[in-house]
Amino acid sequence: MDHPQDNPETVRRRPADASIELARVAVAERDLTDLLTHEDIDRAQDRWKVATARVEGKRVMPFGGLRVLWLLVGPGILVFLGENDAPSMLSYAATGSRFGVGFFVPFIVLTFLMGFIVQEMTVRLGAVAHRGHAELIFDRFGPFWGFFTMADLVLGNFLTLVTEFIGVRAGLSFFGIPPSVAIGGTLIVVAAAITTGRYWTWERITMGLAIFNVLFVPAALLAHPAWAQVGHALLHWTPLPQGSKSDILFLILADIGATVTPWMLFFQQSTVVDKGLQPRDLSAGRLDTLLGALLASVFAIAAVLATVPLFHHGIRAGEFQAAQFAQALEPWIGHAGSALFALGIFEAGIVAAIAISTSSAYAFGEVLHTGHSLNRPLREAWPFYSILLGSACLAAGLVLIPNAPLEFIILMVNVIAVLAMPPALTLLLLLVNDDEVMGNYANGRWANVAGVAVTVLLVCAGLGYGLATVFPRLLGG
Amino acid sequence: MNQLQSLPDVQLTEDDPGANGERISLEQSEAALSVLEADQLVAAKQRTRFGRRKLSLSAKVLLWGLRIYVVVMFGIVLMSVLHALHTGH
């Protein structure tokens, strides 16, 4: 029998079988200490906590499972609250100020449902294969398709990172904080979060920051939403948006891009792997993802509702940035409300800056086969941390350049994310149906139907936007 | 030794390292290995890879079609944004 080390590139059996064999060989050779790394030990520590919580949880029913859940949640909440980022919240704000309460409220819920369908597949892939998304794409489909996917990811991630720093700068400018202080402070927070050398600490710090996405809820309450109208819109998807079809399609695409984007696939799968989730944790992983989608959809709708007063008073806010939205809202939701809105944009930017730069670093580490875990110390995985911090610094630097085309980037970022999504989703569907990778955890029929439906919907939305842009009279102007 | 519970792949006891919250050390390799799946180990991942999968013709056509779609759509977005910036809209 070939030994796995003999020819690593051609091992095609299930990895579990191959590595169980490897572990057996290692045990037999009594070189366990040599085999284990710092990363393994940290991950084992986290798994041990889960195992003990499971045992103890059975003694204190019915709430014993809560500790297990607390230990296992993270990637799902982070990915969805991370995607409620500065450009996304500005897209929701533009939606509320442009069209008020109506079609877009249930549409946003639908986009989060689509997000859940897609992200659940990445949880399964990560927990079963224990490999990141970029690594699996390169290994299974080769460098040709891998590089295309990485090009989409790198372009999308960098542009999105720039918009996060624009959000940070704009959010804090409401309080009179100079751009250099706002951007510098954010970089310090990003660096502080990753220098713990521990995935668990990084995850909890970032979750602690992410929960401040809730700031949009009190801002929305201060706008005194017409709840009956919200309920009616959720049930009937009306009133339909009026105006230029091209503008409506642009906002539809921007709102989809605020929920379903390529970096989310890479980020959640890599964090599931780094956290050490296993197939037995899939229920908790799904619950984590569902919880993230629910929280993020509530906060997204809150951002829409907070800006509805601008719609009622006929204030055009299509090109507003964060501080301008907050200032324009002040007469209707008060100084406290607009301060909450500005703080919310700042928070959205800072959390997404951490999440997106981490997603880039994971993907590069996986492709280059260098250390790519937040459980690794800085000296051991310096290329991983360098990419993480370097991408953040580069994006931050661009925001500080006078007269940089920032408006151009904001306009493009969410739309580019949606347009790059169908190829990424197709590769995801191929992977999650791959018996050699997934074994018994491969997609069932309904998961495939849902996945294909999301992909077709994204392609149709993109084509509709393209047609409306190239032939503006085709859809009635 | 008080046996707490038999999990499918973990025999956890109160006397086990880490069971009461202490840190597992490198000297307790067996304890770490008992809670990790074999293919979660860094060494296992470095030494084993998934092999290349042969894509069917339909999958290749689909991927190429979507790649062309992305390039064309990126071009349209670029044109529309440049137009928007130029007209000041």
| A416 contacts in chain B (CB < 8 Å) | 74, 77
> Distance between CA atoms of A370 and A84, rounded to whole angstroms?
30
Residues B44, A407: C-beta atoms closer than 8 Å: no
> Distance between CA atoms of A64 and A60, rounded to whole angstroms?
5
| A251 contacts in chain B (CB < 8 Å) | none
Q: What is the amino acid identity at position A65?
A: G
How distant is the Cα of B2 from the closest Cα of chain A, in angstroms? Answer: 13
Q: What are phi and psi of A313, to 5 degrees?
A: -100, 10
Any domain includes A99: yes
A367 CB near a chain B CB, below 8 Å? no
Q: Which of B45, B62, B72 to mutate to test the interface with A (most CBs of A within 10 A)?
A: B45
Which of A8, A52, A152 comes nearest B49 by C-beta? A8
If we measure between CA atoms, which residue out of A75, A76, A81 comes closest to residue A352?
Answer: A81
How distant is the Cα of B89 from the closest Cα of chain A, in angstroms? Answer: 8
Any domain includes A105: yes
- Domain hosting residue A110, numbered range: 73-470
If we measure between CA atoms, which residue out of A401, A400, A407, A420 comes closest to residue A321?
Answer: A407
Residues B47, A4: C-beta atoms closer than 8 Å: yes
> Distance between CA atoms of A35 and A473, rounded to whole angstroms?
65
* CATH code for the domain in which residue A459 is found: 1.20.1740.10
> Distance between CA atoms of A400 and A161, rounded to whole angstroms?
13
Q: Which of A1, A3, A12, A19 to mutate to test the interface with B (most CBs of B within 10 A)?
A: A19
Q: How many domains does chain A have?
A: 1
Predicted confidence (pLDDT) per residue in A38-66, tens digit: 899 999 999 999 988 988 877 776 677 89
Residues B39, A16: C-beta atoms closer than 8 Å: yes
> Distance between CA atoms of B19 and A58, rounded to whole angstroms?
16
Asked if A458 and A421 count as a contact pair (C-beta separation under 8 A), the reply is: yes
How distant is the Cα of B81 from the closest Cα of chain A, in angstroms? Answer: 7
Residue A69, token pair as written in the block: 């859940």
If we measure between CA atoms, which residue out of A25, A34, A28 comes closest to residue A5?
Answer: A25
Q: What is the pLDDT of residue A56?
A: 83
Which residues have C-beta within 8 Å of that of residue A149, sequence separation ≥ 6?
A134, A137, A262, A423, A424, A427
The helix or strand, by DSSP H or E, that contains position B12, with its residue range, turns out to be strand B11-13
Can you state the percent helix, strand and coil of chain A, rounding each to 5? 80, 0, 20
Q: What is the pLDDT of residue B20?
A: 53
Residues A4, B48: C-beta atoms closer than 8 Å: yes
Predicted confidence (pLDDT) per residue in A426-448, tens digit: 999 999 999 999 999 999 999 99
How distant is the Cα of A324 from the closest Cα of chain B, in angstroms? Answer: 17
Any domain includes A1: no
Please count the other Cβ atoms lying within 10 Å of the Cβ belonging to residue B89. 9
Any domain includes A253: yes
Any domain includes A47: no
Q: ipTM exceeding 0.95?
A: no
Q: What is the pLDDT of residue A448?
A: 96
Any domain includes A25: no
Which of B12, B38, B49 comes nearest A20 by C-beta? B38
Please count the other Cβ atoms lying within 10 Å of the Cβ belonging to residue A102. 24
Which of B12, B53, B74 comes nearest A419 by C-beta? B74
Please count the other Cβ atoms lying within 10 Å of the Cβ belonging to residue A405. 14
DSSP one-letter string for A7-31:
-GGG--S-HHHHHHHHHHHHHHTT-
Any domain includes A235: yes
Please count the other Cβ atoms lying within 10 Å of the Cβ belonging to residue B79. 12
Residues A36, B32: C-beta atoms closer than 8 Å: yes
pLDDT in tens, chain A (477 residues): 333 333 444 333 444 444 445 555 545 445 555 678 889 999 999 999 998 898 887 777 667 789 999 999 999 999 999 999 988 998 899 899 989 999 999 999 999 999 999 999 999 999 999 999 999 999 999 999 999 999 999 999 999 999 999 989 989 999 999 999 999 999 999 998 888 889 999 999 999 999 999 999 999 999 999 999 999 999 999 999 888 777 788 888 888 888 899 999 999 999 999 999 999 999 999 999 999 999 999 999 999 999 999 999 888 766 666 678 888 999 999 999 999 999 999 999 999 999 999 999 999 999 998 989 999 998 889 999 999 999 999 999 988 887 776 766 776 788 888 899 999 999 999 999 999 999 999 999 999 999 999 999 999 989 988 888 888 777 665
Q: What is the pLDDT of residue A292?
A: 97
Q: What is the pLDDT of residue B24?
A: 60
Residue A24, token pair as written in the block: 């057996």
How many angstroms separate the Cα of A344 from the Cα of each of A81, A167, A176, A216, B89?
12, 10, 16, 6, 27
If we measure between CA atoms, which residue out of A10, A41, A75, A445 comes closest to residue A268?
Answer: A75
Tell me the β-bridge partners of B12: B5
| A43 contacts in chain B (CB < 8 Å) | 36, 40
Query: What is the pLDDT confidence band of residue B58, given thresholds at 50, 70 and 90?
Result: very high
Any domain includes A365: yes
Predicted confidence (pLDDT) per residue in A112-167, tens digit: 999 999 999 999 999 999 999 999 999 999 999 999 999 999 999 999 999 999 98
Q: What is the pLDDT of residue A13?
A: 40
How many angstroms separate the Cα of A8 from the Cα of each of A3, A268, A368, B89?
9, 26, 15, 55
A281 CB near a chain B CB, below 8 Å? no
